[in-house]
């Protein structure tokens, strides 16, 4: 099968298009013919070797964390899906590889594609949708009447998280540029801060939850807009000891995580705030709950551009530039 392959870690090599063997199917997996694949910053970070300690992949590696397509074959233990089903998923870590013609996905991580969405729209959802769900529903337990600050509201996670938070009944603040203010307001943002001209720390007070996706300086400032008892959830690091336990990291990696996050954890504790790091996981049950929200019209996909499969490197570069409104998708079929 044709695929985009990483032969060695680093920015310079990029990913090359080439031939890979068709994936071997395990008993609990479904083979999906890829129609479209979402592109995420995570793909570039893995290519560059930033996650070598957390995710020690064996090279050569096919990238890609979002898929929409059609089931062509099912493993012996699979019961919920059959050939011909239109599906979407975020494949599990160590089984990624959606920048290809076929990808195997665990039955437990798969869901039927939402009715009414194109393959490209469906492929834009899984990683950002599950990230927002696991941050706001699972970790934050966000409730009606609470206040949440979602950084970078016009990005992939931001455009989804704003809509989810509004559906949950929260008041939503976000940062974006003036050019994207109308977009985030249309998604439900109540307070829109222009990060180029305003300092969110001077505008926001007594928030219940912050979803941090930016750098260390922004993370520290975020502590000061939360009230005591509030929650700071970061998807951009630093990883905390709890995450090290979750992934059963080796001892030295756990120590590195403890040291990297010690500063923010100490400051958070002093303010009576909970800090946690989120590295989202594949989850078919949660994806089915997201499907219901999409089919009910509570959440809509936001796509900036669709690239042809041959232009996957250009699609990754576009995401890395950090100016995408919503998601970038590659059309494989």
User: Per-domain residue ranges for the chain?
Assistant: 2-125+301-331, 128-277
pLDDT exceeds cutoff 80 at 162: yes
Q: 206 CB contacts (<8 Å, ≥6 apart)?
A: 147, 225, 226, 227
What whole-number distance in Å separates Cα of residue 184 and Cα of residue 205?
20
pLDDT exceeds cutoff 80 at 329: yes
Q: How high does pLDDT run on average in the chain? A: 97
For residue 273, which of 237, 222, 236 has the smallest C-alpha distance? 222
Residue 14: predicted pLDDT = 76
CATH 3.40.50.720 is held by the domain 128-277:
yes
Q: What backbone phi and psi angles, to 5 degrees, belong to 211?
A: -105, 105
Q: How, if at all, do strands 171-176 and 191-194 pair?
A: parallel
What whole-number distance in Å separates Cα of residue 115 and Cα of residue 304?
21
pLDDT exceeds cutoff 80 at 180: yes
What whole-number distance in Å separates Cα of residue 143 and Cα of residue 57?
38
Q: How many CB atoms lie under 10 A from the CB of residue 31? A: 21
For domain 2-125+301-331, the CATH class is: alpha beta
Q: State both tokens at 305.
A: 């551009």
pLDDT exceeds cutoff 80 at 13: no
Q: What is the mean pLDDT of residues 50-70?
A: 95
Can you list the alpha helix ranges (DSSP code H) found in the chain? 41-48, 119-123, 126-133, 156-167, 181-187, 200-203, 216-223, 241-246, 251-270, 284-295, 312-320
């Amino acid at each position: 099968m044709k695929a985009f392959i990483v032969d060695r870690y680093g920015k310079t090599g990029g990913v090359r298009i080439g031939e890979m063997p068709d994936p071997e199917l395990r008993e609990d997996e479904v083979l999906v013919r890829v129609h479209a694949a979402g592109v995420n910053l995570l793909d570039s970070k893995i290519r560059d070797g930033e996650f070598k300690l957390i995710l020690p992949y064996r090279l050569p590696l096919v990238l890609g964390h979002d898929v929409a397509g059609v089931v062509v074959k099912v493993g012996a233990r699979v019961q919920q899906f059959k050939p011909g089903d239109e599906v979407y998923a975020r494949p599990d870590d160590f089984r990624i590889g959606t920048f290809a013609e076929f990808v195997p996905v665990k039955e437990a991580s798969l869901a039927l594609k939402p009715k009414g969405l194109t393959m490209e729209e469906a492929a834009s959802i899984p990683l950002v949708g599950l990230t927002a769900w696991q941050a706001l529903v699972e970790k934050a337990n966000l409730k009606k009447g609470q206040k949440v600050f979602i950084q970078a509201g016009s990005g992939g996670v931001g455009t989804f998280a704003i809509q989810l938070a509004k559906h949950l009944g929260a008041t939503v603040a976000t940062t974006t540029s003036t050019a994207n203010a109308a977009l985030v307001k249309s998604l439900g943002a109540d307070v829109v801060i222009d990060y180029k001209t305003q300092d969110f720390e001077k505008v926001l007070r007594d928030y219940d939850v912050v979803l941090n996706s930016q750098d260390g300086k922004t993370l520290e400032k975020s502590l000061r807009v939360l009230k005591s008892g509030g929650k700071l959830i970061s998807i951009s690091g630093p990883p905390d000891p709890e995450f090290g336990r979750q992934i059963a990291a080796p001892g030295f990696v756990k120590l590195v995580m403890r040291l990297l996050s010690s500063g923010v954890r100490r400051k958070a504790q002093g303010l009576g705030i909970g800090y946690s790091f989120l590295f989202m996981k594949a989850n078919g049950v949660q994806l089915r709950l997201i499907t219901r929200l999409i089919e009910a019209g509570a959440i809509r996909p936001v796509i900036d551009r669709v690239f042809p499969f041959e232009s996957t490197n250009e699609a990754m570069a576009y995401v890395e530039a950090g100016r995408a409104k919503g998601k970038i998708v590659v059309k494989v079929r």
